[in-house]
Structure 1
Amino acid sequence: MSTPWYATWFNTEFYHDLYRHRDEYEARLFIVELCRKLGVQEGERAMDMACGRGRHAKVLSEQGLQTLGVDLSPESISFASQFKNERLEFKVGNMLEALDFGAFDWVMNLFTSFGYFDDDGLHQEALNHMAHSLKPGGKLVLDYMNSAKIAAQLVPENVVQTDMATYSISRKIENSIIVKRIKVSHECTLDFFEERVRAFSKDDLHTMLVNAGLEHVQVKGNYDLSSYEELDSERMIFIAQKPLS
């Protein structure tokens, strides 16, 4: 069986270089606003599922949450572990496997860290695992791209130049999957990578969250938690609650 694209691409320095603009300032604004509007209480437990190098988890802990960052990549967890403190820890974990980290008041899956599998049954399984990790009354926050806007405004090709490399990027939609192919030119060598993210609609994700046993599903349209507009909003940010009983 071949290695999934995300297990390869996310472990490269090229990935972190290409997306270096996703800075901690943006993460901080989103998390602070989220905690304020959702009534997050100091001392509650939060899991940042697919935490990457820990930028969101770090800010969650600074809001007073006992935070666990979980990611598939040992390299990312190793990097994030430099931020560990009494309110923040990191562990390697896979959303496709049962998560044995205890029960949480909040489970966060942020910055489109979902939608990577070829089989939609696996997406449902991942959401089931996240929902199972919630305490009764706990909430799941799923931050996803707005597929409708991306499809309507898809940029077929562009080139990104950084100090490290030149990235030639092509995009297209294949069978409801947004496919991004990335050619990396670096020190007279070429490397090729691919991203494949399912173009879930708002209704798709709403149904999957309900099927995971969650209720009171809301959707917001951006990091300021403004209302969702199908062709205008930058994001689909779902907030769903585990029943009290």
Structure 2
Amino acid sequence: LKRAQAVCEDAAVDVRLIRADMLTHVEPESYDVVLNVFTSFGYFDDPRDNARVLRNAHESLAPGGQLLIDVMGKEVLAGWIGRPQIVELDGAYVVQRDTVLDSWTRLRTDWTLVRDGIARDASITSFLYSAAELRGLFEDAGFAEVECFGGFDGEPYDHHSKRLIVRGTKPGGDRGSS
């Protein structure tokens, strides 16, 4: 947050940065946009907690405000699951392995970082959502005009997409879905 604040100050942008727990943070009708990017949704073990995050965002948006979530959709993942991904870094590399769990409802991602002959492992588990499932969660949380895209440029979500971007609008505003 300190680096983000410094960048915003250098750019002469007036922002308020907040560190809070997404399970409890609500500021009624305070935001025009809520962004959740880089697959930062679906990590709670209880699916009701993931739904709570959507309801908190809905409650915190002003009428007409929008929530955007960026995840790896099930449809995208199905095209390449099972193939390890290797990322080379300066003097090191990371091997990423993804495993589908629980009848395609959850994903475990395992990483191995190798640097100077030493390997370190980490792993994380998250829920997997299809476009239809995530659209339904948005609607259950009260969002309208829910749309799914294959990228931030608004391209269609299909079998060529690399990401699933879902956008929903809190009813009551006059912004539309532009």
TM-score range, shorter chain: 0.7 to 0.9
Tell me the SS of whatever aligns to 2:151: coil
Q: CA deviation at 1:93?
A: 1.3
Separation (CA, whole Å) in 1 of partners of 2:87 and 2:37: 24
Tell me, in whole angstroms, the C-alpha distance in 1 between the residues paired with 2:8 and 2:157. 35
1:196 and 2:120 matched: no
1:95 aligned residue: 22
The structure 2 residue matched to 1:183, chosen from 112, 118, 138, is 112
The 3 A distance-change label for structure 1 pair 137 and 102 is: closer
TM-score, L = length of structure 2: 0.83
Separation (CA, whole Å) in 2 of partners of 1:168 and 1:243: 43
| Higher deviation after alignment, 231-240 or 99-108 | 99-108
Q: Cα 1:106–1:169, aligned 2, differ >3 Å: closer, same or farther?
A: closer
Deviation at 1:188, TM superposition (A): 4.2
Deviates more, 1:101-110 or 1:144-153: 101-110
Residues in 1 aligned to 2:145 and 2:28: alpha-carbon distance in whole angstroms: 25
CA shift digits 1:129-188 (9 cap, x unpaired): 111110112111222222212123214323322115221222211122222111112234
Give deviations 1:174-215, integer Å, cap 9, x for gaps. Answer: 122222111112234332111323210112111111111111
Matched, 1:206 2:130: no
Q: CA deviation at 1:82?
A: 2.1
Q: Which of the numbers 58, 67, 72 marks the counterpart of 1:131?
A: 58
Structure 1 counterpart of 2:176: none
Q: Secondary structure of the equivalent of 1:154?
A: coil
Question: What one-letter code is carried by the residue in structure 1 that aligns with 2:125?
Answer: R
Give runs of ≥4 in structure 1 deviating > 6 Å: none
Indicate the structure whose relative CO is greater, using CA pairs within 8 Å and at least 6 residues apart: 2
5+ residue gaps in structure 2? 174-178
Q: State which drifts further: 149-158 or 132-141.
A: 149-158
Higher-helix-fraction structure = 1
Residue 225 of structure 1 deviates from its aligned partner by 0.6
Paired position in structure 2 for 1:239:
167
Normalising by structure 1, we get a TM-score of 0.62
For the 8 Å contact 1:93–1:99, the answer to whether it is kept is no
Separation in 2, partners of 1:137, 1:223: 19
Taking the TM superposition and a 5 Å limit, the aligned residue runs for 1:52-67 are: none
Distance 1:223 1:136 in 2: 22
- Give the distance between the partners of 1:100 and 1:138, measured in 2 at CA: 13
